[in-house]
Amino acid sequence: MEENRTVSMERAVGEVRNMAFQFADLYYAFVKVLRERYGEEEAFDIARRVLYMRASERAQKMIVKAEEQGVPRTPENINAMSDVSYLGWDPSFGIETCPYGAAWNRRIKEDPGFRRFAALYCDVTDTTIAEVFTGDCSHRLYRNVVLGDDSCERTYFHSNEVKNGINTYDPDKS
């Protein structure tokens, strides 16, 4: 007989955040090796390409999920269709609401050159997911904690380029 186990919300949030911290540190480690091996600009290009590829894959899965559930592919539905466990994005942590931002800001203190790569992750990932998922909207982060802001804020907007199949970070079309 299976035992009914529950955990506290505090523990669940902590576990999700710890998983996100591990991922954030893995991204930092990959970027660090790329920078050391290939230099800043080549590392930046490689990271951008990888982030675009992975975000596109994620958005395609979101499209399938939305279609299965009959959910319109609008910016308002991105978070509901996302594969991110937002349980760990707890506003009680203030400026560290986003566990990626919290981990990356610690890395930026040790390695200021990482800042542009942390911002790249957010911009490429979120913009690509918005563009692929909606098919006609783009995205802009106008505040980002890894750039020194006290929160992350974004806007979505209609884009004729996206509607015509030209995504902002597509390395084959941009």
Q: pLDDT, tens digit, for every residue of 111-137?
A: 999 999 999 999 999 999 999 999 999
Residue 67 is encoded by which pair of tokens? 């279609």
Contact 90, 14 (CB under 8 A): no
Rounded mean pLDDT of 76-100?
Answer: 94
Rounded mean pLDDT of 46-66?
Answer: 98
pTM for the full predicted model: 0.93
Per-residue pLDDT band for 1 (boundaries 50, 70, 90) equals low
Contact 60, 73 (CB under 8 A): no
Contact 65, 82 (CB under 8 A): no
Could you give the percent of the chain with pLDDT greater than 90? Answer: 93
Domains (range + CATH), the chain: 9-163 (3.30.1380)
